[in-house]
Amino acid sequence: MATKYKAMYKYELADAAGVSTRTFTRWLSMHTAQLRKLGVTPNTHLLPPSAVKYLCETFVIEL
């Protein structure tokens, strides 16, 4: 069954990954170019579903 992704706050995704928000933000900084294509800037708090999908697949986060 395919996972349907929803918009999530950065802190929610960091919690699902089991890391602090600060660590998660550092992880995101390594993927700035791809996240910008998905409409995410460093100041974005609510991540769109496309960005959540990308991050879950990249960092192997199970929701």
Phi/psi at 61 (nearest 5 deg)?
-105, 125
| pLDDT reported for residue 22 | 94
Torsion of CA 43, 46, 48, 3, to 10 degrees: 140
| Confidence band of 1 (pLDDT split at 50, 70, 90) | very low
Six token digits for residue 42:
């460093």
| pLDDT reported for residue 2 | 59
- The string of pLDDT tens digits covering residues 21-37 is 999 999 999 999 999 99
Six token digits for residue 12:
């929610």
- The string of pLDDT tens digits covering residues 37-58 is 999 998 999 999 999 999 999 9
Q: Are 32 and 41 in contact (CB under 8 A)?
A: no
Q: What residues pair up with 25 in beta bridges, in sequence order?
A: none
- Which percentage of the chain shows pLDDT scores above 90? 81
pTM here is 0.85
Other CB atoms within a 10 A radius of the CB of residue 35 amount to 20
